[in-house]
Amino acid sequence: MMLSIKNLHAKIGDNEILRGLSLELKAGEVHALMGPNGSGKSTLANVLAGHEAYHVTGQVLFEGEDLLAMSPEDRAAAGIFLAFQHPVEIPGVGNLYFMRTALNSLRRQRGLDELDAMDFLEFAKEKMELVEMDRSFMSRSVNEGFSGGEKKRNEILQMAILEPRLAILDETDSGLDIDALQVVANGVNSLRSKDRAMLVITHHQRLLDYIVPDRVHIMAEGRILRSGDKQLARALEEHGYVGFDQVSLEPSVPVAARP
Amino acid sequence: MTGTSSDIVELASREYQYGFVTDLDTDVVPPGLSEDVIALIAAKKNEPEWLLEWRLRSYRHWLTLAEPTWQNVTYGSIDYQDISYYAAPRPKAALASLDEVDPEVRAMFDKLGISLAEQERLGGVAVDAIVDSVSVATTFQKKLAEAGVIFCSFSEAVQNHPDLVRTYLGSVVPYRDNFFATLNSAVFTDGSFCYIPKGVHCPMELSTYFRINAANTGQFERTLIVAEEGAYVSYLEGCTAPMRDENQLHAAVVELVALEGAQIKYSTVQNWYPGDAEGRGGVYNFVTKRGRCAADAKISWTQVETGSAITWKYPGVILQGDNSIGEFYSVALTANRQQADTGTKMIHIGKNTHSTIVSKAISAGHGQNTYRGLVKVLRSAEGARNHTQCDSLLLGSDTGAHTFPYIEVKNSTAQVEHEASTSKIGEDQLFYCRQRGISEEDAVSMIVNGFCREVFKELPMEFAVEAQRLLNVSLEGSVG
């Protein structure tokens, strides 16, 4: 098992957002995580990446290691990547420079040689084609003045460059028009591999027409409510989240480790 | 796991690298200020009569002035009778070449990363090295002389080029200008002098390196740069001082004269000792810097201020000639208990004069950072334009950033724009970087350097690298 989450709780102050969530992901699998606003999807993404705003209890093992004991940068070095829902702008820091610094930080921690500027540029050029990104983006400041779609493509580009073991995509489809969605989905699909797992968080069934998941999880009130194959997402689209609990679905697999 | 906000506070604490004291045989005048002391300084320097008279006029005027209190900084009172106004490393004998510079002095500059010998052999930068009150060495003089450029210590200029000095001394910053400039006019001991003749593009960067070594000594140097019609010069200034528990006073005056069509680019990386974490010691940096532009001339000030306990300086430009240009690019970092009240003065007199002000203030620890700037457009300045941008970055919650823009416009055709922003170094920016595998310390330095980029790109290459390194050292902390 690549990722194993057991009875995960997370709160900010007195507000408990994750309430005993359990989930497992194998290498090579793509899982979709769906659920209404406020169900805790983004919180799960942030907690897995190591955001320090939350008080977290429970167990998360990544490749057998205790993920919760690691700093965000150590998690990145271990191979966890988060495509942010709202990528931040870093004025004055060049996009290319930022990505090279990130890659070299990871390479250093993995005992590999750092890439110099020329080698990195060659390497990055290929990846840029993957998300149809123009070279001019690389000399601009990180995300500064990027449109919503450009920011999302920039996230997928970073994923392509950093080559993570586990990629978490937090609503990468939100705010994208259909063309941008296709570009992003193509990028993601080309990065699917037997060594890499992905957790795709989305509001909409639409994305799953392009990125076909192996498993679908429905989340509500800080827990996984139901898990199934891709048919589950279609059923959800038909019935909506309201009253979803009452609808009988086949095949339906209850979550094993629900408290 | 680390708690981010407390780490930022720790990042702000830092070690000062240049705090060593060199054991030099120093000729020091006993503390105290009087007409006798001034006469003694003039005599030691074998100065002409007119200069002594100018000093004494300044001193008598200074006695009528009160120390200014309007600036947004606090410090204990300064006892001007407790300062020594002249200190010089005692030379073993008169110097015929750089090889004869006191080995201790050379070793000190080597330790500062400025090898005087290497500068002479390899460097593309001519250096005037000033220790305490006097210039100890000036490199590349011969090569510069071939281009007609004069670059020497102020004392040498007084001896060898008295007419030039007499013409321009006090022509931009008159001796009556302000409390600290007037004090400087009375007691200044050395500094750099630079003269670029008509139409000459100075063949290399000129640089002055200031070092306060002796204890209880004020450093009062004067820099005078004259660029004749169409001339160009790029001038760099660096400074450090030993760590001492007492405060040291540094009250310098810099005057720039840009005649018609001339360009002067003046860059400073100021790294005086800032005092310790509790605010003990450190240099009081009370400096008056000003330039005057004739028609079509351009003066550009770029400063990176990371040192000093207190910084009080407003490098300005008097845009006297038509179509002249004034620029001010500044990064000021205050950490620990440092205080900075800095900015610029742009005085628009000529027609179609332009000025640009970019100020970047970074506050960490308990640092207090104030931008204070004057943009004054006189009635005569038809078509004058100014653009001012002041950005502040706060690291931690015990810091302060303040902006006091003064704008006086007497001509209705003028365009004056002012933009200001204050931001906290974002937890979300830090998390973003760390998620990508970049350590917290590297992330802070990356974000801060990005914030300063507009200013750093104005610095000459080697200096930009130095400034970036200095900023990183200044932010270095116990995270890791």
Supply the DSSP string of A53-85, one letter for each residue. TSEEEEEEEETTEEGGGS-HHHHHHHTEEEE-S
Q: Does A185 touch chain B (CB under 8 A)?
A: no
Residue B404 confidence (pLDDT) above 60 = yes
Interface test with A, best of B391, B436, B444, B468 (most A CBs within 10 A): B436
Give the per-residue pLDDT at A166.
Answer: 97
Residue B199 structure tokens: 């139409």
Predicted confidence band at B306 (pLDDT cuts at 50, 70, 90)? confident
Question: What pLDDT score was predicted for residue B9?
Answer: 40
Q: Flag if A72 and B434 touch (Cβ within 8 Å).
A: yes
Which candidate from B427, B437, B440 shows the least CB-CB separation from A102? Answer: B437
Find which of A52-61, A230-239, B16-25, B146-155 is predicted with most confidence, using mean pLDDT: A52-61
Does B436 reach chain A within 8 Å, measured CB to CB?
yes
C-alpha B62: how far from its chain's center? 23
Given a cut of 50, whether residue B420 has pLDDT beyond it is yes
What pLDDT, on the 0 to 100 scale, is given for residue A9? 96
* Residues in chain B within 8 Å Cβ distance of A50: 1, 434-435
Instruction: Give ∠ CA B172-B178-B179 in degrees, rounded to 5.
Output: 140
Closest alpha carbon within chain A to B425: A90
pLDDT: is A231 or B59 the higher one? Answer: B59
8 Å CB contact of B437 and A109: yes
Please report the pLDDT score of residue A232 as a whole number. Answer: 84
Q: Are the C-beta atoms of residues B351 and B342 closer than 8 Å to each other? A: no
Mean pLDDT of B401-408: 89
Mean of the pLDDT values across residues A101-126?
91
Mean pLDDT of B89-103: 52
Which pLDDT does position A253 carry in this prediction?
47
Whole-number pLDDT of residue B400: 81
Per-residue pLDDT, B476: 58
**What mean pLDDT comes out for the span A109-136?**
88
Q: Is the pLDDT of residue A101 over 90?
A: yes
Does the pLDDT at position B374 exceed 90? yes
Question: How far is B479 from chain A, CA to nearest CA, in Å?
Answer: 13
Judged against a pLDDT cut of 90, whether residue A201 lies above it is answered with yes
B468 chain-A contacts, CB cut-off 8 A: none
- Band of the pLDDT at B8, cuts 50, 70, 90? very low
Confidence of residue B244 (pLDDT cuts 50, 70, 90): low
The encoded tokens of residue B317 equal: 């430009």
Q: What residue of B is the nearest CA neighbor of A78?
A: B437
Interface test with B, best of A51, A75, A146 (most B CBs within 10 A): A51
Kindly report the pTM of this predicted structure: 0.77
Q: Pick from A165-179, B29-43, B301-315 the range whose average pLDDT is largest.
A: A165-179
Nearest CB partner across the interface for A51, out of B431, B440, B450: B431
Alpha carbon distances (Å) from B153 to B130, B234, B316: 8, 17, 23
Asked if B386 contacts B416 with a C-beta cutoff of 8 angstroms, the reply is yes
Residue in the block written with tokens 């989340």: A219
Nearest to B428 among A81, A88, A102 (CB): A88
Q: Residue A217 has what pLDDT? A: 94
pLDDT of residue B416: 93
- A120–chain B Cβ distance below 8 A for any pair: no
Chain B CB contacts of A70 below 8 Å: 1
Task: Say whether B452 and A92 touch across the interface (CB within 8 A).
Answer: yes
- pLDDT bin (cut points 50, 70, 90) of residue B125 is low
Q: Which span out of A171-175, A176-180, A209-213, B308-312 was modeled with the highest average pLDDT?
A: A209-213
Q: How confident is the model at residue B459 (pLDDT cuts 50, 70, 90)?
A: confident
The reply to whether residue A101 touches residue B447, judged by beta carbons under 8 angstroms, is no
Chain-centre distance for alpha carbon B459 = 14
User: Which of the two residues, B466 and A64, has the higher pLDDT score?
Assistant: A64
Nearest to A76 among B427, B437, B450 (CB): B437
Contact check, Cβ <8 Å, A90/B437: no
Report whether pLDDT(B285) > 80. Answer: yes
Q: Give chain A positions within 8 Å (CB) of B452.
A: 92
**How does DSSP classify residue B449?**
H
- How far is the C-alpha of B303 from the C-alpha of B176, rounded, in Å? 25
Determine the Cα–Cα distance for residues B373 and B327; give it in Å rounded to an integer: 13
Q: What is the mean pLDDT of residues B400-414?
A: 90
Q: Which residue has the tokens 């050029």?
A: A125
| Residue to substitute from A97, A105, A141, A144, interface B, most B β-carbons within 10 A | A105
Peptide bond into A251 cis (omega under 30): yes
| Percentage above 70 pLDDT, chain B | 75
Helices (H) and strands (E) in chain A, counts: 9, 12
Lowest mean pLDDT among A9-23, B243-257, B314-328: B243-257
More confident residue, B390 or B275: B390
* B338 to chain A, closest Cα gap in Å: 26
- When mean pLDDT is compared across A91-95, A227-231, B95-99, B424-428, the lowest value belongs to B95-99
Q: Is B397 exposed, middle or buried (0-12, 13-18, 19+ CB in 10 A)?
A: exposed
Mean pLDDT of B30-34: 82
For residues B116-136, average pLDDT = 52
Site from A42, A46, A51, A52 to mutate, B interface, most B CB atoms within 10 angstroms:
A52
pLDDT (0 to 100) of residue A240 = 74
Q: What is the average pLDDT across A84-91?
A: 92
Residue B124: the pLDDT is 47
B423 at interface of A, judged by CB pairs closer than 8 A = no
Provide mean pLDDT across the span B267-290.
Answer: 78
Say what the pLDDT of residue B210 is. 64
Among A118-122, B107-111, B228-232, B445-449, the minimum mean pLDDT is found in B107-111
Chain A touched by B434 (CB under 8 Å): yes
pLDDT digits (tens, 9 = 90+) for B178-188: 999 999 999 99
Residue B312, pLDDT score:
84
Flag whether pLDDT at B202 surpasses 80: yes
What percent of chain B clears pLDDT 90, i.e. is strictly above it?
36
What is the band of B128 on the pLDDT scale with cuts at 50, 70, 90? low
* B11 pLDDT above the threshold of 70: no
pLDDT value of residue B205: 79
Contact A59, A259 (CB under 8 A): no
At B4 the pLDDT is 39
Judging contacts by C-beta atoms under 8 Å, the chain A residues touching residue B3 are 52
Residues of chain B found within 8 Å of residue A69, distances taken between Cβ atoms: 1
In contact, A63 and A80? CB cutoff 8 Å = no
A–B: how many Cβ contacts below 8 A? 83
State yes or no: pLDDT of B325 exceeds 90.
yes
Alpha-carbon gap, residue A46 to A66, rounded angstroms: 16
- The neighbouring-strand residues paired with B234 are B265
| Whether the predicted pLDDT of B360 surpasses 70 | yes
Using the beta-carbon criterion (under 8 Å), do B1 and A158 form an inter-chain contact? no
* Amino acid B68: pLDDT: 82
CB A120 within 8 A of CB A100: yes
Q: What is the ipTM of this complex?
A: 0.92
Average pLDDT over residues B156-170: 94
Q: Which residues contact A224 (CB under 8 A, 6 or more apart)?
A: A21, A22, A23, A217, A218, A255, A258
